[in-house]
Every structure is written in C-alpha cells, then in structure tokens.
Amino acid sequence: MTASALAAETSEILARLGVAASAFTGGTMTVRSPISGEVIGAVKEASAADMSAAIGRAHDAFLAWRKVPAPKRGELVRLFGEELRAAKADLGRLVTIEAGKITSEGLGEVQEMIDICDFAVGLSRQLYGLTIATERASHRMMETWHPIGVVGIISAFNFPVAVWSWNAALAFVCGDSVVWKPSEKTPLTALAVQALYEKAAARAGAPAGLSELVIGGKAAGEALVNDTRVPVVSATGSTAMGRAVGPRLAERFARAILELGGNNAAIIAPSADLDLVVRGVAFAAMGTAGQRCTTLRRLFVHDSIYDALVPRLKKAYGSVKVGDPREAGVLVGPLIDKASFDRMQGALSAAKAAGGVVTGGERTREDVGADAHYVRPAIVEMPGQADVVKTETFAPILYVMRWSDFDEVLKLHNDVPQGLSSSIFTNDLRQAETFLSVVGSDCGIANVNIGPSGAEIGGAFGGEKETGGGREAGSDAWKAYMRRATNTINYGRDLPLAQGVSFDVE
C-alpha cells in the first residue's frame, strides 16, 4: 500500500465514523502513522481559552446530568456501547493505523471499550452505599454517593481509546461530565470516539457538553490539571508526567487517579509448565511491541531451568514476525516514533555496559522509510538488576536474570520504583500463595500462571509506588468518580451525643 493510500484510508474511516474532514485537515498538529511514518492528518491545537470554554460547558452539563437517575444515565452508556459494536471494525482499524497495534489488538482495544460499557450499565443500578450501626438510640447512619463534577481525562498514546472509556463510562453513570485531553500522538482515534459518543448522546438526549474533547499537547493537559472546576483528574502516562501532575492536583486538593509507568516482572519457578511460560512470556513481553504499561520487562528464571527455557525464548523471539501490523501473521508492529527507537537503543547500550548480553533489538524493515521504526524484540541476559533494568524503557526489551533462592527473588522482584503488574509461573502452591501474600509481590496486579499483561475490565486496574496508586475500570473503582456523604438521621425525641458527650443548655 502506498503512502497516500494509507492517508486516504484514514480519511475514509473517519468520514464513515462521522468525523468532519475539517476536524483532521488543515491544522497545525500533524499526525503520523507509525506504520509508514507518513502524515495522515493535521488537527487543530486547542488554546488555553478553548480548554477553559470546554470545562465550562462540561460543568454546565454536569449540573443537569447529576439530577438524572443513575439507571437512566446508564442508558447513554448502553447506547454508546451499541455504537461501538457497530463501528468496531473501523475504529479498530484506525487504532492500528494511528497507534501501530496489530489488527487483533486494535480490535481488542475496541472490545475493551464495549466491555466497560456493559460493566458500567450494570453498575448504574449498583451504586451502593452502606448503612452503619450507630451508637445513638433512634438514629440511623448511612452513606450516600453523589456525582462529583467534571472529570478530566489525560490519556497516553498506547491505549488511545480504551483508557478514555474506562474513565468516561464510569464517570457518566456516576453522574459526572468529562473533558478528555488525548495523547498528541493519537488525536484521530479520539475524534472518532467523540463522533460515536455524539451519536449515542443524541439518541439518549444527553445534555450538550457532557463529554468534551480538547486536542493539544502538554500545555492543554496542564490547563486541565490547573482548573479548579475539575475536581478529579485521571492521568495516564509516564511517571515523569505524573510527577508534574500529582503535586499540582494536590496543591488545589483535587483528586488524582494516576496510572503511570510499570516495570513488570515474572518469576519462573522450577515446577513451571514451560510451554505455558513460552506463550505467556511471548505475549506479555512482545505484544504491542513492548508498548504496554503492563509489558513484561523483567524475567527471573530459576537456575535449574534456565538452560531449558532461555534458548526456547530466543527461538520464539527470532521467529516472531515483525512488520506491518495490518498483515496477517504479524505479531509485532512498529514503535510509535523515532524518540522511542532512540530510547530503546540507549537502554540496550546501557545494558551492555552493565554486562548484559543482547540478542535482537536491531532495527528492521528500514525499506519502509526513515520515519517508520520497526525493531526485532530484544532479550538481554543480565548478571543482575542494574539501574537500566529498574527503569521503564517503553520498547520490547526483556531483561532475563537467574535466581536460586525464593526469598531473594521476591526481594529483587519488588526492588524497582514501579509497582504495576507482576506474575509467577509455578505449580508449587506454597510459592504461588506466598507471591500473592503480604510478603509477596508489591504490585497492584499479581497473577499466577499468566503473564502480567492483558487485564480484563472486571478487576480494578492500577499500581503502586511510582505507578501512581490510581485504580480504574472494575471492582469498586467507581468510588473515585463520586463524592461520599455520611448521613446521620435522628428519628427520636432526644439528642444523645456521640462518645457520651453532654452539652445541656437551658
């Protein structure tokens, strides 16, 4: 397919999804497809005034939306899910074109949006509060959950649409409005999602401004973070971004849902099923070309099986098809851009300097063009957990290390600044349970006999330490999008005070 054909296909998809050509042509922010490096759109960058106006519209919408009963709010999300189902092929293809994900992962990302919509529709009838035993006679104590306001959503390039939906679907049923600042690398998929949302909103009769999209870079993100009309900001991206955003939100006492970098590991025990390990490691470490927050980056292999496993992994790495993510059989698509490629090469050099032995990692498919960056995923056998291993490099590098003592490997596992996802492959019940216990993995996600990557929406998603502590999607993550009020009602004729305090006035 020629370069112009890719741009033409992008325009056709956007048109089919209901995005006006004026939204993605003639702007100052160029959008490139990592598949070829070619320009596929030019969007307008919002000004600070645009962001402020969008927040104002979202705030007005919130004032109306909060009064709509939650199950009726769920109807908007149900209709949006229908729009997504109808548009799945087109939107998935657009994710592939703009973010470089292979076809099944592009479609999978849209499926994840559909899944969270289904979850949120059910949730719209389950926003439960507790009733609590009170120490005072003829009193009742309970908690109620109220909509909180405008939820700001800042998203990263690698999940250009799903992350917004995790936040937005919950926010809508919780009675909030949203303002979305997508990654500057993936604004076209955001435009498409917004167009689909508008269709659902028109069918549901949702108030104008309930979901605002503001396209821009860091400055737009900062404007959203600084605006006191936004009580909650969910920010997904690098730890560096979170370090800037977190204190700003804390300063104005806003709630932060931070979903930042990961440095995820798997421990391979002697009893592990190695067939499972090879498949699990391959997907977790090479899937999405190593550009998932949950990508497997550190592999601890027990001494006794190292020589049986590592050559098998190298073989899988050597045979995996790297290439155009639209082609059948390709499992590893391109890196997002040159900066990403440069960071990968820098990390490999640092790993070599620290005694690492590198297999793979070289650039491939240079014939595609200077602006497209394909790499063979790298395995790096490390003598220990050097500084480079403790850093998240957002590329397909798997650092492999040996272990022999279980307590020791647990320490090494946790000895990184990040705390997102983790796993152990073992058939030893004691090891599995210890890994999941208080003295085991310190991450927000801990798995047994599956890799650290590929979460489903029913669980709460997020991690500890430099990953930021936020939780999104399933379980009770919805509570972050609501305001809790504790209510005490006296239905008696006396006024007993708590803690036996007496305060009698004439």
Minimum Å gap between C-beta 183 and ligand NAD is 4
Q: Which two tokens stand for residue 86?
A: 């109808």
Read out DSSP for 225-241? Answer: HH-TT--EEEEES-HHH
**Distance of alpha carbon 107 from the chain centroid:** 16
Catalytic-residue membership of 38: no
Which of 117, 293, 443, 466 is the catalytic position? 293
Q: What is the DSSP letter of 477?
A: G
Which of 259, 381, 466, 472 is the catalytic position? 259
Nearer to ligand NAD, 51 or 268 (CB): 51
Q: Which two tokens stand for residue 432?
A: 């599995």
Catalytic-residue membership of 9: no
**Distance of alpha carbon 103 from the chain centroid:** 19
- Asked if 459 interacts with ligand NAD (CB under 6 A), we say no
Q: What is the identity of the amino acid at 125?
A: R
- Asked if 152 interacts with ligand NAD (CB under 6 A), we say no
- Asked if 244 interacts with ligand NAD (CB under 6 A), we say yes
**68-76, 257-265, 310-318, 342-350 -> range binding ligand NAD (CB under 6 A):** 257-265
**19-27, 213-221, 351-359, 478-486 -> range binding ligand NAD (CB under 6 A):** 213-221
**241-249, 407-415, 451-459, 474-482 -> range binding ligand NAD (CB under 6 A):** 241-249
- Asked if 293 interacts with ligand NAD (CB under 6 A), we say yes
Task: Work out which of 178, 201, 204, 260 binds ligand NAD, going by CB under 6 A.
Answer: 260
Nearer to ligand NAD, 297 or 413 (CB): 297
Nearer to ligand NAD, 206 or 260 (CB): 260
- Asked if 225 interacts with ligand NAD (CB under 6 A), we say yes
Nearer to ligand NAD, 256 or 409 (CB): 256
**142-150, 235-243, 355-363, 371-379 -> range binding ligand NAD (CB under 6 A):** 235-243
Q: What is the CA radius of gyration of the chain?
A: 24
Closest CA to 379 of 359, 353, 393, 409: 359
- Asked if 180 interacts with ligand NAD (CB under 6 A), we say no
Task: Work out which of 92, 100, 152, 237 binds ligand NAD, going by CB under 6 A.
Answer: 237
Nearer to ligand NAD, 14 or 293 (CB): 293
Asked if 380 and 351 count as a contact pair (C-beta separation under 8 A), the reply is yes
d(CA 249, CA 123): 28
Minimum Å gap between C-beta 199 and ligand NAD is 25
Which region, left, alpha or beta, applies to residue 26 given φ > 0 means left and ψ of -120 to 50 means alpha? Answer: left
- Tell which positions 462-501 bind ligand NAD, by CB under 6 A: 467
- Tell which positions 405-434 bind ligand NAD, by CB under 6 A: 420
Nearer to ligand NAD, 385 or 467 (CB): 467
Minimum Å gap between C-beta 87 and ligand NAD is 23
Secondary structure in 3-state letters for 203-227? HHCCCCCCEEECCCCHHHHHHHHHC
Asked if 239 and 392 count as a contact pair (C-beta separation under 8 A), the reply is yes
**Strand boundaries in 313-466, DSSP class E:** 357-359, 363-364, 374-375, 378-381, 397-403, 418-419, 421-425, 445-448, 460-461, 464-465
Q: Which residues, 6+ apart, have CB-to-CB distance to 480 below 8 Å?
A: 232, 234, 255, 257, 470, 471, 472
**195-203, 230-238, 345-353, 380-388 -> range binding ligand NAD (CB under 6 A):** 230-238
Q: What is the DSSP letter of 102?
A: -
Size of the site for ligand NAD (CB under 6 A): 29
- Asked if 394 interacts with ligand NAD (CB under 6 A), we say yes
Q: Which residues, 6+ apart, have CB-to-CB distance to 14 below 8 Å?
A: 21, 23, 24, 41, 94, 188, 191, 192
Asked if 364 and 344 count as a contact pair (C-beta separation under 8 A), the reply is no
- Asked if 245 interacts with ligand NAD (CB under 6 A), we say yes
Closest CA to 413 of 422, 400, 425, 404: 422
Nearer to ligand NAD, 75 or 109 (CB): 109
| SS3 at position 179 | strand
Catalytic residue numbers read 259, 293
Q: Which residues here bind ligand NAD, judged by CB under 6 A?
A: 154-159, 181, 183-184, 217-218, 221-222, 225, 236-238, 241, 244-245, 259-262, 293, 392, 394, 420, 467
